[in-house]
């Protein structure tokens, strides 16, 4: 059977989180770099599809390709790790400091990967900076401004809104990472993880790594956004919201739901696998070679 039951998935979540926390700095940086760039590729593909069809849901249907590539290659996506590594800490499979180190180095890798793709993609759509007529130029500028000064114009309500949208986003993104563990086949993994990612992107929620590409790319192309606008009104609150959504609603939610069942299930398996041993004080041992001895 391809399907993996939730109790087993929970065990895989803890094991995966521990493995992520044990990576070297160079592994975290490179895997984070690649994941950031791949997600940026998927973002521009989704934006292009939306522009060509005038249907946002078409872009949402396409966007999960990037997430699928990242998960199948075992790269590091910090937003997915928000639901996994905290469980490994909870189960004492790793330490809190290792968790923070993973988050920090992977985020740095994401920023570098997104920046490299933003520069290369910007040069592509502007024909090496000579033509600003490509429709994606305005798409990225508008997205960058909407995601920053759009919230700033609302004041505290804007800050609350961006955090809520980030929580909702990563509730689904972390479910995507977990759903990949529900199947043992590549096809099953792809289909399972596609569903939650489609849900988040199709509703315009806020994803920290996507924004590490979209906002700087828009700034490079001329968006009226400053570094403080980017970090204060989007990047930092989105990271906080993504963390809360991943830890609370996916990580702890599944942990509370299936931890006891997983424990009781493993005990039952031990009992079933243990043969009954007769009391030799009451029963004489079988003669050698008869096959009746235990």
With the CA atoms of 136, 141, 147 and 149 taken in that order, what torsion angle do they form, in degrees rounded to the nearest 10?
-170
Torsion of CA 170, 167, 235, 228, to 10 degrees: 170
In this predicted structure, the answer to whether residue 278 has a pLDDT above a threshold of 70 is no
Kindly report the backbone phi and psi dihedral angles of residue 3, in degrees, each rounded to the nearest multiple of 5, phi listed first.
Answer: -70, 135
Tokens of residue 213, six digits: 């590409």
Q: Exposed, middle or buried: residue 240 (CB in 10 Å: 0-12, 13-18, 19+)? A: middle
Give the Cα separation of 214 and 225 in Å (integer).
12
- Alpha-carbon distance of 145 to 143, in angstroms, equals 6
Is residue 17 within 8 Å of 87, Cβ to Cβ? yes
User: Residue with structure tokens 């509370």?
Assistant: 256
**What is the tens place of the pLDDT at every residue in 190-233?**
999 999 999 999 999 999 999 999 999 999 999 999 999 999 99
Q: What confidence tens digit (pLDDT) does each residue in 93-102 have?
A: 999 999 999 9
pTM of the model: 0.88
């Amino acid at each position: 059977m391809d399907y993996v039951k939730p109790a087993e998935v929970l065990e895989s979540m803890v094991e995966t989180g521990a493995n992520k926390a044990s990576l070297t700095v160079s592994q975290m940086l490179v895997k984070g770099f690649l994941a950031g760039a791949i997600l940026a590729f998927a973002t521009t593909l989704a934006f292009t599809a939306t522009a060509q069809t005038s249907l946002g849901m078409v872009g949402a249907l396409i966007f999960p390709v990037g997430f699928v590539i990242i998960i199948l290659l075992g790269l590091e996506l910090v937003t997915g790790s928000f639901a996994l590594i905290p469980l490994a800490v909870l189960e004492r499979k790793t330490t809190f400091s290792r968790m923070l180190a993973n988050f920090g180095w992977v985020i740095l890798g994401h920023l570098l990967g997104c920046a490299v793709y933003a520069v290369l993609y910007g040069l592509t759509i502007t024909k090496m900076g000579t033509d600003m007529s490509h429709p994606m130029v305005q798409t990225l500028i508008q997205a960058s401004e909407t995601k920053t000064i759009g919230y700033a114009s609302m004041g505290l309500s804007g800050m609350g809104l961006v955090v809520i949208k980030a929580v909702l986003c990563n509730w689904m993104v972390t479910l995507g990472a977990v759903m990949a563990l529900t199947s043992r086949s590549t096809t099953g993994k792809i289909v399972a993880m596609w569903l939650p990612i489609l849900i988040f992107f199709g509703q315009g929620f806020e994803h920290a790594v996507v924004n590490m590409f979209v906002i700087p790319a828009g700034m490079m192309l001329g968006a009226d956004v400053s570094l403080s606008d980017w970090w204060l009104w989007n990047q930092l609150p989105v990271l906080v919201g993504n963390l809360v959504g991943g830890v609370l609603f996916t990580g702890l939610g599944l942990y509370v739901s299936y931890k006891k069942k997983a424990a009781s299930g493993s005990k039952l398996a031990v009992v079933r696998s243990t043969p009954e041993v007769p009391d030799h004080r009451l029963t004489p041992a079988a003669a050698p070679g008869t096959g009746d001895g235990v």
